[in-house]
Chains A and B, each alone.
Chain A
Amino acid sequence: MGDCAVSAPTAPPPVRTDAAPPSQRAGRVGELRELAKTTPGVLVVFTVALVLVSILVGLFTAVTVQGRAKALDDLTARSGPLSIAAQDLYRSLSDADATANSAFLAGGLERAEVRTRYESDIAQAESALATAVAAREPADLADPRGPLAVLSRELSVYTGLVETARANNRQKLPVGAAYQRAASNLMREELLPAAERLYTDETAVLRADQDRAARLPVVEVVLGLITLVLLFFAQRYVRRRTRRRLNVGLLVATGAAVVSLAWVLVATIGVMANVNASQEHGSEQTDVLAQARIAALAARGDETMTLVARGSGKEFEEGYQDAIGQLAGDRGLLGRAQELASDGTVRDAVRAASAAQDDWHEVHQRIRQLDDDGVYLDAVDLAIDPGDTGAATKFDAVDNSLREAIVTTEARFEDEVGQASNALTGTVIGVIVLALVAAAGAATGIWQRLKEYR
């Protein structure tokens, strides 16, 4: 509706009354022109121009530097933590679903550890969701199909269904299984896609903030050069007219302008290097690692769901194969993470994750073999047994290795962004002070020459 302007009734154009007679105006302009042709006139024009330009350039430069500092603040205070929250939310929801399903598969009373894991997943999801909601404007929540609205609305429905399933299971009623299926279905159809959208959105914002913080300092350089060019012409004029080689005031002004430009350049190049490093060694790797972790979770969820469906779980087995296809192999997420890895810890962790994933896949094939051969309960045992040889343990090894790698890349991200913020410390004030010095220097320098014409 913003661009919809209803035109107001137009008032009659105001009648000009303050116009001076044409002849008088021409006379004044003529006088000024005459004055500008004299040396003192030119010097006054230079003074006014130099003072104005120095101050304006100082202000504009300070504003652009401030913009860059703001982008860095956003990275540390908003988009950085939010992309982590979104990733946490996605991960803990997937894990809650896989955990609830394997508790169901286990039959009887679930083990206390399994219940604790589910509860801490939900708690983590809720706190990540609160972080994400708090950072948004109320308008972002107004769209009922937006990811945050869906997540806030459906998470409690999901936990309600899981508790209903649990209560029925405790009475040995098969309707519990139907509630568990409904819960898992809600998770897969609504909650996880919303979490994925949120994660994609937040990662895009993070990238945009990084680009904003690391853009080339074109404006700053152009502004700095304008001051220097003007100072150059002023000095050449003064030298020609007064036959004095050096003018201390103008030299001080030039020095201040050069220092200001150099300061901004050095600081900006530092920031760019840090932000690019935060991308290359931090967020880019975190993104690939997080996607790998989520793909592993999806595969684990499908592995358990195949057994829950018992003989009619073909679509889940296909889901497992899809997720593993994304994860494994040189072209897969783990391969890409290995390729991007720029830190020994990350490289080792990714290697460990790949190895565990291979082991897990072997166990998975044994599970499928057992289930297809009709030894269903043995297949279930192998899938959920907490012992060393079970798929649960292998999957946990993949997940833990990836988490370790993510902790490292996130720390590197925070470190680089922190350094970038430090590089800009004092630059805004410095630029303004130097601009005032330049303006004062230019004014005094020319004023001394101007006095000689009195």
Chain B
Amino acid sequence: MKRTKVAALLAAVAMAAVGCTSADEVGDRREAPVGPPMPKGAAEVSDLPAPGTDKSCGEPTASLRPDGPPPPPGDFATNTAMQRIHARGKLIVGVDQNTYQFGYRDPSTGQLQGFDIDMAKEIAKAIFGDPEAIQFKVLTSAQRVPAVKNGDVDLVVETMTINCERREDVEFSSVYYLAGQRVLVKEKSGFDGIRSLAGKKVCAAKGSTSIARIVNVDTDPRPVGIGVDGWTDCLVMLQQNQVDAVSTDDTILAGLRAQDPFTEVVGEPLANEPYGMAMSKESPEFTRFVNAVLEQLRTSGRWTQIYNLWLRDLLETPASPPPATYRP
């Protein structure tokens, strides 16, 4: 192999010396790429601002205080978002279909299910008295903020971290789940946390806080961020040896680990990721209403029920609902 390359090089030099053009012929011989392709939309990501540095909104998780318990289903004042949604007959919710145990498609039935899906159904139940009066729209991480801003969806419930950058565009509910960003690697890979991945390829969804945090880790060189559309695409790339690690919220990682027992979650959390439901800034009464429903879920034990159904076995720990903080 080496010898033929040298021969080809000599031939090229010789031909260049006698004034012949053979560059094309040598170029045509380049190796073809082999092996499986990268998932659609996968690309190297760089130059993202570090998340959470924007403190302009004060405490980002402080949401609008509810006006007491939610009204009974259907009993809404005119000109409120709840009344408009009730008149339409269904709540339109942006969710994921790729995050195991949060929002995913059951391959045997085609139905969407998970912790986020059940949370969204509780909001539908509070508006209509029927948890199934709901239409799901599958969104990638990067599509979440635009979908709320354009009014394509009433609500986004999709493992979405609350921060000041996003609060410029959308309103968040109080925190309904508290996660932390960690790292998923293959077993026996020798990596023990994000700082051991200097210069290595690390996967996360485009438009997530996770990817922004990966490319801002101050190792030398920094980890190389690979952005994808869906979280399971990260697992595909890890299984196909196209990335060295996946780094995002422990909840999502646990879902990936459950699908591949030859992986492990390592390292201390890089940061806390408080999840909120996102909705339009135009209707603060809707945010107050959603917060009232969440308050009820916390106190009634329903939150713990849903947690136990989807996440308890996955995360191997019991948990209680995160407390809400409010601004006026």
Give A contacts to B, CB under 8 Å. Answer: 1, 4, 6, 105-108, 142-145, 149, 153, 157, 160-161, 168-169, 172-179, 181-182, 185-186, 189-190, 309-312, 373-374, 376-377, 380
Q: A145-B32, A168-B259, A374-B90 are in contact. Are A178 and B39 (CB under 8 A)?
A: yes
Q: Do A175 and B235 form a contact, CB below 8 Å, given A107-B108, A153-B34?
A: yes
B107 adjacent to A172 (CB under 8 Å): yes
Given A311-B137, A311-B138: A107 and B109 interface contact (C-beta under 8 Å):
yes
Residues of B within 8 A of A107 (CB): 106-110
Q: Check A1/B32 contact, CB under 8 A, given A181-B39, A374-B92.
A: no
Known: A182-B39, A182-B236. A310 touches B97 (CB 8 A): yes
Q: Does B275 contact A (CB under 8 A)?
A: no
Q: Are A174 and B105 in contact (CB-based, < 8 A)?
A: yes
- Interface residues in B52-78 by Cβ distance below 8 A to A read none
Assess the B108–A174 pair: CB atoms within 8 A.
Answer: no
16 additional contacts (CB under 8 A) given A310-B136, A311-B138:
A143-B28, A153-B32, A168-B107, A174-B104, A175-B232, A175-B236, A175-B256, A177-B98, A178-B233, A181-B230, A182-B39, A186-B36, A309-B138, A310-B105, A374-B136, A377-B111
Q: What residue of chain B has the Cβ atom nearest to residue A172's Cβ? A: B107
- Measured between beta carbons, the chain A residues less than 8 angstroms from B259 are 168, 173-175
Q: Which residue of chain A is the closest to B92 with respect to CB atoms?
A: A374
Contacts of A178 in B (CB 8 A): 39, 98, 230, 232-233, 235-236
Answer yes or no: B318 CB below 8 A from chain A CBs. Answer: no
- The answer to whether B136 and A376 touch across the interface, beta carbons within 8 angstroms, is yes
Q: Which of A157, A169, A174 contacts B98 (CB 8 A)?
A: A174
Interface centre among B22, B30, B97, B260 (most CB of A within 10 A): B97
Contact of A175 among B18, B109, B260 (CB under 8 A): B260
B137 touches A182 (CB 8 A): no
A4 contacts B15, C-beta separation under 8 Å? yes
A43 to B138, CA, bound (A): 97
User: In the complex, what distance in Å separates the CA atom of A161 from the CA atom of B235?
Assistant: 14
Write 23 A-B pairs (CB below 8 A) sorted by A numbering: A1-B20, A1-B25, A4-B22, A107-B106, A144-B31, A149-B32, A157-B35, A160-B36, A172-B107, A172-B108, A174-B105, A178-B232, A181-B40, A182-B236, A185-B40, A186-B36, A189-B40, A309-B138, A312-B143, A374-B134, A374-B135, A374-B136, A377-B111
Complexed CA–CA distance, A172 and B139 (Å) = 21
Chain B residues lying within 8 Å of A108, measured Cβ to Cβ, are 107-109
A373 to B133, CA, bound (A): 11
Given known contacts A1-B25, A310-B136, A157 and B37 CB-to-CB distance under 8 angstroms: yes
Q: How far is the CB of B163 from chain A (nearest CB, A)?
A: 24
By a CB distance below 8 angstroms, the chain B residues around A153 are 32, 34
Q: Which residue of A lies closest to B229 (CB)?
A: A181
Q: Is B181 an interface residue (CB 8 A)?
A: no
For chain B, give the interface size range.
35 or more
Question: With A168-B259, A377-B110 in contact, is A177–B39 under 8 Å at CB?
Answer: no
Quick one: given A144-B32, A168-B259, A190-B37, are A177 and B107 in contact (CB under 8 Å)? yes
Decide if B140 touches A312 in the complex (CB within 8 Å): yes
Seen from chain B, the residues whose Cβ lies within 8 Å of a Cβ on chain A are 15, 18, 20, 22, 25, 28-32, 34-37, 39-40, 90, 92, 97-100, 104-111, 134-140, 143, 230, 232-233, 235-236, 239, 256, 259-260
Contact assessment for B139 and A311 in the assembled complex, using a CB-CB cutoff below 8 Å: yes
Residues of A within 8 A of B35 (CB): 157
Residues from chain B with Cβ under 8 Å of A144 in the complex: 30-32
Q: How far is the CB of B39 from chain A (nearest CB, A)?
A: 5
Q: Which of B31, B99, B233 counts the most A-chain CB atoms under 10 A from its CB?
A: B233
Taking the nearest CB of chain A, how far is it from the CB of B83, in angstroms?
19
CB distance from B231 to the nearest CB of A (A): 9
Chain A residues with CB under 8 Å of B40's CB are 181-182, 185, 189
CA of A377 to CA of B111 in the docked complex: distance in angstroms? 8
Interface centre among B143, B256, B259 (most CB of A within 10 A): B259
Assess the B20–A4 pair: CB atoms within 8 A.
yes
Q: How far is the CA of A190 from the CA of B260 in the complex (A)?
A: 29
Q: Within the complex, what minimum Cβ distance (angstroms) separates B203 from chain A? A: 12
Closest CB in chain A relative to B251 CB, distance in Å: 14
Closest residue of chain B to A371 (Cβ to Cβ) is B135
Contacts of B235 in A (CB 8 A): 175, 178
Query: Please, which residues of chain A bring their CB within 8 A of the CB of B98?
Result: 174, 177-178
Expressed in whole angstroms, the Cα–Cα distance for A181 and B228 within the complex equals 13
Contact B18 A173 (CB under 8 A): no
The answer to whether B236 and A380 have CB atoms under 8 Å apart is: no
What are the 10 tightest A-B residue pairs by CB atom distance, in nearest-first order? Answer: A374-B135, A144-B32, A311-B137, A178-B232, A107-B110, A4-B20, A185-B40, A310-B138, A108-B108, A173-B259
Known: A181-B39, A182-B39, A377-B110. A6 touches B18 (CB 8 A): yes
Bound Cα distance from A149 to B25, whole angstroms: 17
Q: Point out the residues of chain A lying under 8 angstroms from B104, CB to CB.
A: 174
Please determine whether A174 and B109 come into contact, CB atoms closer than 8 angstroms. no
**Contact of B37 (CB < 8 Å), options: A1, A142, A174, A182:** A182
Residue of B nearest to A106 (CB): B110
Q: Say which residue of A161, A182, A189, A373 sits within 8 Å of B135 (CB atoms).
A: A373
> Shortest distance in angstroms between B128's beta carbon and chain A's nearest beta carbon?
13
A1 pairs with B139, CB closer than 8 A: no
A168 contact set on B, CB distance < 8 A: 107, 259
A186 to B2, CA, bound (A): 32
In the bound assembly, the distance between CA atoms of A1 and B111 in angstroms comes to: 62
Docked Cα-Cα span, A376 to B132, in Å, equals: 12
Q: Is the CB of A172 within 8 A of B106?
A: yes
How far does the alpha carbon of A173 sit from the alpha carbon of B92 in the complex, in Å?
Answer: 26
Minimum CB–CB distance for A109 against chain B, Å: 8
B18: nearest chain-A partner, CB-CB: A6
